[in-house]
Chain A
Amino acid sequence: MEFSGKVLIVDDEAHIRKYLSLIVKRLGNPVIVEAQNGEEALMLYETHTPDIVLLDVNMPGMDGIQALEKLREAHPKAVVMMLTSLAARNVVERCVELGAVNFLRKDTPKEAIAKIIADTIAAHVGK
């Protein structure tokens, strides 16, 4: 896959953003934008209109679920994939309800993360 779109990575932990952006970079030649909480993510979404958002669930301040709700309200076509470290059933259900297209556990091996992101882009971006 040669992906050269825009990806917004939202996570409060800098090392996770770093790690995920390295994975995303291997998908081709993407533009990567990073945000560290929900508010920042909403702002950056307006200025950059990314093709896909990787959005952490647990963040201080506005968390991923609140951000997802606001984002999908303003942009019903926003493609959002949730990031978690422990996917509780009720959280997954809530996010799917709010229109998240996929779920990613951050401790998944990185080749598998790459594949999940690539598949999600192939299935949802530009559709």
Chain B
Amino acid sequence: MTEHPTGNGPHRPSLAGRKILVVEDDRLNARIITSILKPEGFVTAEAHSAEKALELYSTFQPDLVLLDIVLPGMDGIEACRRIKRDLGGSSIPVIFITALNKPEDVVAGLTAGGVDYVVKPFQAKETLARIRTHMSLRVLMEQHIALIDDLSKANAAKNHFLGIAAHDLRNPLTSIRGLSEFLMEDTTGPLNDDQRAMLQSMHSATQVMLDLLNELLDISIIESGETHLDCVPCNLVDIVADAVALSSIQASKKDMRFDFKRGMLTQALMLDTRKFRQVIDNLLSNAIKFSPRGSTITVEVSEDTGHQNVSVRDQGRGIPKGEMGKLFQSFGRTSVRPTGGEKSTGLGLAICRKIVEAHGGKITANNLEEGGADFRVTFKTSHHGI
């Protein structure tokens, strides 16, 4: 790497004005270091003992500490520990200063939380290069933390907006759906076939929008951390059995059937039954959506050591290679299309994941060797069992 005169390449963060605390009992050495750092735009403070350094630390608030290991009184290793542990400096880079013939000091220093070391007598270029590297990392880390903070605020604002928008759109859509039903029921007089077909289109389009809005509301409420779980002890088999019974009607429309394997469960789980039912309903309706007519969907509830599982296995095309990552993301629709022209918002599985994770459980998907996909929800019984 070629030496850059200012030390700041075009893609590097500016380090000018960054503060370095130099802790070195040998005043001549301290002055040499300071004289290397000052022309680079660093602001420095010197301490000639560990005790003095700890005192100075809080008022000076350095971005980096250069710390001699051998000091009168408290040594550098202990000073480093205290900076990390007691002074809130856990993320402050500490670079140790050590004599060339003391490799064991280096190990002790790095173990105490140091990020690097420089050896005496100082090589100006090497010392500077190491300092710049760690200072750059520190600055980048600060920037990332600020960025993450901004992003999570933006995400909260988005969720808030989404909630309001979905909420205000839902009432008009409810009316359109309901009023079109009244018209189709000949409330205002008999309809001809064309009129009925048009109303049918309006009605189903409205229903699709309502479903989408409800899922948007779900995801915004869940993402804003307002998932309140009302957990009660319940039997996994019972909940899944109810869901399977209801979904069978939908399945029979595509000549599909459910094969429900009820395992023996030794204990109840603490679940928010309404929300968990939403998860199972979603997995079942996906299986119906993405499987060919006439196929069988296997639903299995099982228990193994420490876990209870629900597995939904279909005979569809499975999850395309490379699209597994999209599956549980909001709007993460894969390239696989429903087999009966059904609609999918791409939010269902994202909601499922949030709900399952809120329960401390896990949801996973795998392709089966014999074809089709296996969606599996797993709960720990040790945490949820009673």
Contacts and interface: CB of A to CB of B under 8 A. Distances in A.
B210 interface: yes
Contacts of B171: 13, 15-16, 85, 106
Q: Which of B170, B174, B182, B228 has the most chain A CB atoms closer than 10 A to its own CB?
A: B174
B167 interface: yes
Contacts, number: 42
Given A85-B170, A86-B217, A107-B170, A18 B175 contact: yes
A22 B170 contact: no
B167 A16 contact: no
A71 B167 CA distance: 27
Given A86-B217, A89-B228, A107-B210, A18 B170 contact: no
B179 interface: yes
Contacts of A86: 167, 170, 217
B175 A16 contact: yes
A16 B187 contact: no
A22 B187 contact: yes
B178 interface: yes
A19 B228 contact: no
* B contacts with A: majority SS: helix
Contacts of A106: 170-171, 174
B179 A18 contact: yes
Interface in B198-251: 210, 214, 217, 228
B172 interface: yes
B178 A19 contact: yes
A16 B175 CA distance: 6
Contacts of A110: 178, 181-182
Nearest to A86: B167
Interface string A19-36: 100110000000000000
8 smallest CB-CB distances across A and B, nearest first, come from: A15-B175, A107-B174, A19-B178, A19-B175, A110-B178, A85-B170, A106-B174, A22-B182
Interface of B: 167, 170-176, 178-179, 181-182, 187, 210, 214, 217, 228
15 contacts: A13-B172, A15-B172, A15-B175, A15-B179, A16-B174, A18-B179, A22-B178, A22-B187, A85-B174, A86-B217, A89-B228, A106-B170, A106-B171, A107-B174, A110-B178
Interface of A: 13, 15-16, 18-19, 22-23, 85-86, 89, 106-107, 110
